[in-house]
Structure 1
Amino acid sequence: MSYPVESVELRDRGLAAVRAGDLADAEQLLRRAFDAGHAGAANDLADLLLRRGDRDEALRWWRRGAESGDPECLFELGYVDEAAGDLAAAERWYRRGVELGGTGSLLNLANILEGRGERDEAMELYRRAWAAGQDKAAFNLGRIYDDGGRGDQDAAELWYARAAERGNAGAAFNLGFVRGDRGDVEGMLDAWRRAAGFGHPKAGHALADHYGRRGALAQARYWSEFADGPRVFSPEFESFGGWGAAAAIHRQDLLNDFLGDDYVHYDLDARTFKVGENTYGGVTFLGSFSNLDQSWLWSWDNSHFDPAAPALAAVAKIREYGAQQGIPEFICGRLDMSNFPDPKQAATIMAIAAGSLLGGNGVNSVGINGGKGSTYVHLDDPRLPADEYDPIAAPRLLMTAAQVFPADHALIVRGLLTHYGPSMLQMSQEAIIGELPAGHRLAVEFTENGLIKAITSDPARPGRDRASD
């Protein structure tokens, strides 16, 4: 809909005043915008009046906007009548809104029609609502096709999957059942993990029940606690983190020593950070931790940022890896870590482990919002300290990693050796011995319970793997 230029300018000024908190000025500007011919200003003004509790005046402005042909005002009037139980009046408002090109009325009109059995028209409206960007429309189409497991399961899966891709928790949850009924167990688990990450209250229990019936007690415990905040990392994350832990700790130590106590200034737009007089590149914004509710928020799920922005784009690799390997911590956008013994330390461990998927030099955190939280960034600049095998540090790195990820000590040792590329590797339940390309030798002995008992780390021996003159 085209509006007079003057009315557009007045409305823009009015909305700017709303954002600035100058509500009296905003009201006057929006009134003037409507009088100058901008029908949509009526809806903006009604929203403003509702904020100060004047519902009757808001209704009056919605009616004025509807009379002027504003689709949003027509939707609001339909919603008011629908909430009051007058479905006939609501349908009339919604239909007028749809006729005038309003997308907000599509879904609600379809709901009314479906409720009285007019399924074909309802489904057509759901399709139009989906095309207009409403994920709930796809969920409703999936539900209709699903018909409690008795309907067209191909179509149900298609529409549930579409809605789930846009973050619809109910669609992801139902998608799990459709896939499970068709024998796709991995697809079922993937859908339920995503539903849990979207906040569906029953998804974690569905996963816990699945794992419990199969005797996977660690996974069952994790998911049974998920909705209220787990107390430990998932077994999948424990395995991933343990494999790369020793090398990740080494990289982190090198980075921390390099940065020292100097103030670090970040520019996410330029993907750079400055220490002293030097500027470095390769900054990726991983996520943030809130000291208020003890939660972690991945950058891709932060509404204040564009996931496709250069400083965030690489984080998609973490999310994709999590989906492939079934690691909940890398799938869920927001994680409640309040039940961990040290929530912030748990968030830091997770961020450092995730950063290893991006290579680079490690992770740094910076306080934000006056100490209310911390932002975590991953750094990758070739001018930062290089990650090379250190035979002196190796025993300490292994023991520290085993404290952080105690489930499988042998996994930690294999992960360290594999990271640095052993030229020879001997493994048994009692010991792991590795010869590294530079001539270093690492031997680790284990107790009967699989715990590290002794570590021998020898530096390069003369004549071994050395170039001749």
Structure 2
Amino acid sequence: MSYPVESIRLREKGLAAARAGRVEAAEQLLGSAFDAGHAAAAGDLADIELQRGNRDEAIGWWQRGAESNDPACLFEVGYLDEARGDLTAAEGWYRRGVSVGGASCLLNLATILENRGARDEALELYERAWTAGMDKAAFNIGRILDDGGRGDLEAAALWYTRAADLGNAGAAFNLGFVRGDQGDREGMLTAWRRAAGLGHPKAAAALAEHHGRNGSPAQARYWSEFADGPGTFSFEFDALGGWGAAAAIHRQDLLNDALGDDYLHYDLKTRTLTAGDTGYGGLTVLGSFSNLDRSWLWSWANPHLDHSLPALERTAEIRKYGARNGIPELMAGRLDLSNFPNPKQAAATMVIAAATLLGGNGVKAVGINDGAGVTYLHVDDPRLPADEYEPLRMPRLIMTAAEVFPAADPRLIVEGLLTNYGPSRMQIGPNAMIGHLPEGHRLAVEFTDDGLINAISSEPAGREP
């Protein structure tokens, strides 16, 4: 929608005055902008009245904006009529909003039509709302196609997945039922774990019930405690952590030695970390731990951070990995760690393991808010010491990893370590795993019959006589 040039200038000045706290000047300028032909200024004035607690005055401005065909005001007036139960009037406002490009009106109009039985038109509007970026639209399409398990399950799964990919917890939860109806048990559990990580109130209970029925009491207990804050990591996170733990601990040791105890300064715009007089690049802010309520907050969920900052961009990789693999610790924006024996250590363990998905050198903790919390910074700079295979360190690294992730399969820990260093050949038997590493190194690990580590042999490359 185009507006007169003068009205645009007046509105921009009015919005700037509002941001500066000069409310009376903002009102005057925005009123002049509306009179000069900028319909959206009516919505801005409504916002000011709402902040003052003047709802009736705000409604008056929405009405004036709607009569001038402002899409946002048309939605607000339509919603007011819908809330009062006047669906005919609401439909009229929403249709008018859609006709002038009001994407927000699409979803509500589609819902009114669906409830009336106009399924085809509702689906067409939901698809337009999805194109406009609304995850709820994809959820509703999936729900219609699903039809309680009686419809087109493959198409429903596609739309539920699209919505879940945008963080819709209800879509992930319903996707679990669709996968179950399709006979895909693992797909069902992955979807429910994803829904639990996204905060769906029923997903954890569904997982607890499933594992209880299927003879997995430890997993049933974990999910039954999930909503109130578990005291252990999920089995899925333990598998991820165990796989990369030994190599991650090695990288962490190297990073700590390189940075030492120098004062650290970091810059979120340039993605740099400075230790003493030396600066390093590739900085990513993973999140923070609160010493006050013993919770973890991923940076992508922190409302006090500017999410456009370069140092926050790569955290999306962790979140997407968690969503694909149903790992709740990598999806939930805030995690209550207060029930862990050592909440701060749990946060550090979780972050170091998750950071392996980004590669790089490791994680550094920096105190914030006068000691009230700790923020964790991931560094990826090739000038820092490279993570090379060191045969004499391997036994300690494997045993430390097994202690940090006691629930992880020891074979997984060893296989992850060997894979990290790229063995030229790997031999896996019923009670042993042998890796022949580059430069002639050899690592052999024996296991007991119940899968525990029994012995480790790490042999350096033989020397020429």
Q: Could you tell me the TM-score, scaled by structure 1's length?
A: 0.85
1:222 aligns with 2:222: yes
- Alignment match, 2:175: 175
Q: Match for residue 281 of structure 1? A: 281
Q: Does 2:463 match 1:466?
A: yes
Q: Tell me which moved more, 448-457 or 322-331.
A: 448-457
Segments of 5+ residues of structure 2 without an aligned counterpart are none
- Where 2:377 maps in the other structure, the secondary structure is strand
1:26-425 to structure 2, matched below 5 A, reads 26-291=26-291, 293-301=293-301, 304=305, 306=307, 311-319=311-319, 321-323=321-323, 325-390=325-390, 393-394=393-394, 396-407=396-407, 408-409=409-410, 411-412=412-413, 415-416=416-417, 419-420=420-421
The secondary structure found in structure 2 opposite 1:162 is: helix
> How many residues were matched structurally?
463
Give the stretch that moved more between structures: 29-38 or 15-24.
15-24
Quick one: which amino acid aligns to residue 118 of structure 1? A
More moved, 225-234 vs 279-288: 279-288
Q: Identity of aligned pairs, percent? A: 70
Q: Name stretches of at least 5 consecutive residues in structure 1 with no aligned partner.
A: none
Once the two structures are superposed, residues 296-328 of structure 1 have per-residue CA deviations (whole angstroms, 9 ceiling, x without a partner) of 344455564558x75455445544544555433
Kindly indicate whether the alpha-carbon contact (under 8 Å) linking 2:194 and 2:327 is maintained by their aligned counterparts in 1. Answer: no
- SS of structure 1 residue aligned to 2:384: coil
The one-letter code of the counterpart of 2:100 is L
Distance 1:326 1:164, change over 3 A: closer
The 2-side partners of 1:101 and 1:454 are apart by: 69
Give per-residue Cα distances to partners, 1:163-186, cap 9 Å, x unaligned. 222221112211221121112223
Separation in structure 1 between the aligned mates of residue 152 and residue 391 of structure 2, nearest angstrom: 61
Q: 1:71 to 1:325 in 2, by over 3 A?
A: closer
Q: 2:149, 2:178 within 8 Å by CA — same for their partners in 1? A: yes
- Range 37-46 or range 437-446, more displaced: 437-446
Deviations 1:202-261 (A, max 9, x none): 111222222332223333222222222221011222233233323322321221122122
Q: Per the alignment, do residues 233 and 3 of structure 1 end up closer, same or farther by CA in structure 2, a change over 3 Å counting?
A: same
Q: Aligned partners of 2:264, 2:434: CA distance in 1, in Å?
A: 41
Provide the secondary structure at the position in 2 that maps to 1:366. strand
- SS of alignment partner, residue 27 of structure 2: helix
* Whole-angstrom CA distance in 2 between matches of 1:415 and 1:425: 12
1:59 Cα offset (Å):
1.4
Cα distance, 1:430 vs structure 2 = 8.2
Counterpart code for 2:384? L
Assess if the C-alpha contact under 8 Å between 1:429 and 1:450 holds in 2: no
Alignment partner, residue 24 of structure 1: 24
Give the 3-state SS of the residue equivalent to 2:382 in structure 1.
Answer: coil
**Whole-angstrom distance in 1 between the partners of 2:187 and 2:415:** 30
Distance change (3 Å), C-alpha of 1:91 and 1:17:
same
TM superposition shift of 1:437: 5.7
* Stretch of structure 1 that moved more, 407-416 or 255-264: 407-416
Task: Note if contact 1:218-1:235 (Cα within 8 Å) is conserved in structure 2.
Answer: no
Alpha-carbon shift at residue 117 of structure 1 (Å): 2.4
Task: Tell whether the 8 Å contact from 2:191 to 2:326 is kept in structure 1 after alignment.
Answer: no
* Per-residue Cα deviation, 1:390-434 (whole angstroms, up to 9, x for no partner): 566555544433332223556545554554566898888988787
Letter of the 1:229 counterpart? G
Tell me the TM-score normalised to structure 2 length.
Answer: 0.86
Give the conservation status (yes or no) of the 8 Å contact 1:176–1:189.
yes
